[in-house]
Structure 1
Amino acid sequence: MKKKYIIAIVTVVILAGVGVGSYFLKQSMNKESVATMEIYTVPSTDKVFVNGKIEPEKVENIFLDATKGTVDKVEVENGDVVEKGDTLFTYKNDQVQSQVEQLELQLNSAKSQKEEINKQNAEAKKQLEDLKKAGLENQMPQGGQMPNLGQNAGGEISTGSVDEQIKLLEKQIKALKDKEYYKVTAPIGGKVILAESSTNPTQPYITVESGDYYISGSVNEKDQPKIKEGQEVQITILSTNKNINGKISSVGNTPIDNGASLAAQTGAQGGAGGNMSYYEVKITPDSQEDLTNGFHVQASVNLDKKPIEIPKEAILSVDNEEFVFKNVDGKLVKQVITYSPKEGSEDEVIVSSGLNEEDKIVSNPTPNMKEGMNVE
C-alpha cells in the first residue's frame, strides 16, 4: 500500500514538472515571436495643403420666364444625362393661342371671300360662253362686261387684294405659332437637376452640371507663394478616404472671402491665424472616378522632389521577390517594392513603388521573420 502512494506521488511530481516545463517552453516560444527590431520611418517632405471641394467644370442655371408662358411639358427627369441641344421643357403661351385663333378666323373669312369671287368669275364666264353660243354677242354690253356683276375692265373680279390679305394673315399666324410653343434646350451636356419647387422665380428651374469635375480650393497667404501651376498633388476625398492624383491648374492672386471658411470646414493643416488672407487654387484631377459634386477634399503638394530612400539592408529577397516588412499596428506586414541603386551610395536605395512617406519598415530584418509577428 505504501508503495502505491510512493508511485502516485512520483507520478504527480513528474506531471507537474512536465506542466511547468511546457509553460516555460511556451513562454520562450512567445518571446521568440516578439521580435526586437530596428524601425526606420520613411521621411516626409515639406508640403502645402490645399483645402477645397469638388465642383463641376460648367454649371448652367435655367430660370423660368413668364413672358414665354407657362411650362407645358417637361422632357427630362431629375438625374438624367443630356447632350447639348436636347429639349428640357416646353412653354405654352395661352395669350398667343388666343391671338392665333382670332387671326385664323380672319384667314378663313378671307379665303371664303376669295372662293366667292372665284365663283362669281366662273359664273360670269359661263354666261358669256352661253351668249356666244346663242349668237347674241351683239347683246353684250360694250367691253364684254356682264351687267350687275361688278367685273373689272378685263371681265373678271380681281382677287389680288384678298390674296395679299391671305398671305399677310398666314405670315402673322406662323410667327405667333412659333411663340405659342417655345422649346428650351440644354446649353451644355451633363446631368439634369430639377428644382424642388417651380413657384420660386429666384431659384433655377433646371440646372445642368457638366460631367467633368475639378477641385476648387484655397491656401493661406503663407503658402500661396510656394505653389504654382502644373505642380502635382495628392488628393484625399475626406468622406470616403479615397486618394487620387492631380495637377494645379491655376493659383489666384486676389484674396477670396470664403477661403477661411472653407479651410475651417475641411480641417486645414499648416496653420493660419484669423487675420490670414486666402487665395483660390484650382486643381484638375487625373481621373474623374469616385468624384461627387460637393464632397470636401484635401490636396497635398510636395514642395521637395526628393525620392523615397531606405537602407539597402532593409530589403529581403525570396524566390526572386524583393520586399520589406512594414510595421502596421505593431504587426509585421510584407510589402513588395521596386527600387534602384542610389548613385554614390552602397548603403541606400531609391524606392519607386511600394512605399509612402511616413511608412515604418524594419531596417534589420532576418530570414526567419514572418508576417503577423509582433513588433517590439
Structure 2
Amino acid sequence: MRKKWMIYGTLIVFSLFFSINLYLFDKYDKSLSRTVISDSIIQVKQRDFTLFFPAKGVVSSPHIEKIFLPTDMNEVEKIFVRRGQEVQMGTPLFSLKSNQLDEQIEELANELAFWQQQQNEVEQSIDSLKMDMETQEGQENSQALLMQQLQSERREIESKIHHLTNQKAYLEKKKEKQIVKSPAAGIIDNVELNKPHPFISIVRRPYLIKGTLSEMELPKIKEGQRVKIIPLGQRKNIYSGTITEIDKIPTQQKKESFYPFYVHLENNEASLPYGSHVSLSIILQESKDVPSIPKTSIVQKRKKHIVYKLSKDKVDARSVQLGLADGLEREIASGIHAGDWIIDNPPSSLYEGMTISTPMELGKIKKEYFRYFSKTDMASLITSGFFRTKTDDVIEKMMKK
C-alpha cells in the first residue's frame, strides 16, 4: 500500500512540475531573449515613388489654318506645296496668273537696259572730252559747250533710268501679291483642288498630344497634372508635358462617353512627328527621396504593418505607415528611416527582443584563422552553425586578425 502511494505521489509531483513549466513557458516565452538565424538583413534605401495613370495619345494640333484658292482654278498659275510638306511663315503656297504684268515688266527691263547702255556711252564721251581739254589748246569754247551738252544728256538719262527702275519695282511688288504665302509655320495637311471652294490647310505648331478618357477615368484626371510621354518604340526618349485642357463635351462611342484631353509638350516638341502615337503616364501622386523596402519585409499583424528593425543585436518590431508601391518595393511613410537595417523575409517565429545571427560563411574565412581556435571553440561553432551577433572573444580575436 505504501509503495502504491509513493508511485501516485511521484506521478502527482511530476504532473505539477510539468504543468507549471508549460504555464511558465507559455507566459514568459516571448520575454525570453532567444536567437534566430537570418541571412536577409538589408538596409533601408531611399528613392522616388510615382503613382501614374496609363493612357494613349496621338500628336495633334488644335490649330488648322485654311487658305482658300480662287473658285476658278484657271486663275491659278502654279501650286508650290504638297501634302505633308513642312512650311515656314512666308513660304509660297500658290501663284495667280499675271500675264499682263509679266509683259509690262519685261518691256521695262528691256527699256532700262537700253538707257543704261546710253548712260555708259555718255560717261565714256565725258571722260574722253576731259582728256582732250587737258591736251589741246585754242578750242576751250567749243569743248566747254560740248561738255555742257553731254552733262545735260547724262542728267536726262539718269532721270529716265530712275523713273523706269521705280516703275519696274512697283510692278514686281504688284506681282508678288499674286503669290500667296503661308501665314504660319507648320505642315501641309491637305491640298484640296476639286471642291467648289478649293483650299490648302496647314497644321500649325505648337503640337499637342490628344488623348481620351472614359467616364470612369475622368474623375482621376485634372488639368495641370504632369505627364510623361513615350513615343512608341522609343522607350529611351521621354518627353514631359502638362494637361492643359479637358473637353467638357464628350464624344459618343458604343453607348459610352469619351472626353478628349490635351497635353502641352514642354521640351523639343518639334522632334515628335505629327500624327505619331505615344504612351502617356499621367502622374497622380509623387514621393521624393523617401524610405523604400521590399514588400517581403512587411508583415501584417492585427491590422498593423510590422517591419523588424535591428537595434544593436536585438529585433525591434516597428509599426509602419505604408505609402506608394512600385513593383516589388514599397514606400514607408513613417516608422523607419533610410539607412536603418531590417529583416527581409522574416520567419514566423521572429518576435521582438530576439537576438539576430547570420549564418557562417566559411568561404570568407581563411585557413590560417583556424589556428586561433581551440578545439572547444571549433566544436562550439560547428555545433551552433552560425556567428552570433554578440561574438565571443575568440571570434573577435579572429576578426581582428
The answer to whether TM tops 0.5 is: no
> TM-score range, shorter-chain basis?
0.3 to 0.5
Larger fraction in helix: 2
Q: Normalising by structure 2, what TM-score? A: 0.39
Which structure has the greater CA radius of gyration?
2
